[in-house]
Amino acid sequence: MTELDPAWPPTVTELAAAVRTGERTATWAVEQALAAIDARNDEVGAFVALDPTARSPPPSRSTRRSPGERTPVPSPACPSG
């Protein structure tokens, strides 16, 4: 299990900015969340079942975004299908 970063958890805004700029990866965020659950769940009891192996594999190199590259978000005014 990944060791919990003492700065975890950042705010959602800080986490999104860190992933967007490439400072952190989404994989890092998932690993930190799993480490936090592992470290604190006996006390909190929020999770009954957890399968850390069920997470998605990392994206292939061809689908990764460059640091700072934004993911296109469809506009509600433009149908996407």
Q: Would residue 80 count as lying in a domain?
A: no
Residue among 79, 62, 60, 70 nearest 21 (CA): 70
Q: What pLDDT, on the 0 to 100 scale, is given for residue 11?
A: 87
- What would the mean pLDDT of 29-46 be, rounded to a whole number? 86
pLDDT, averaged across the chain: 76
**Distance from C-alpha of 24 to C-alpha of 7, rounded to nearest angstrom:** 13
Greater model confidence, 56 or 33: 33
Q: Would residue 74 count as lying in a domain?
A: no
Q: What's the predicted TM-score (pTM) here?
A: 0.57
Helices (H), the chain: 12-21, 26-44
Q: What pLDDT, on the 0 to 100 scale, is given for residue 79?
A: 53
**Distance from C-alpha of 37 to C-alpha of 30, rounded to nearest angstrom:** 11
Instruction: Give the model confidence (pLDDT) of 10-24 as tens digits.
Output: 788 888 888 888 888
Q: What's the token pair of residue 68?
A: 């700072």
Q: What angle do CA 59, 57, 30 make, to 5 degrees?
A: 100
Q: Would residue 77 count as lying in a domain?
A: no
Instruction: Give the count of domains, the chain.
Output: 1
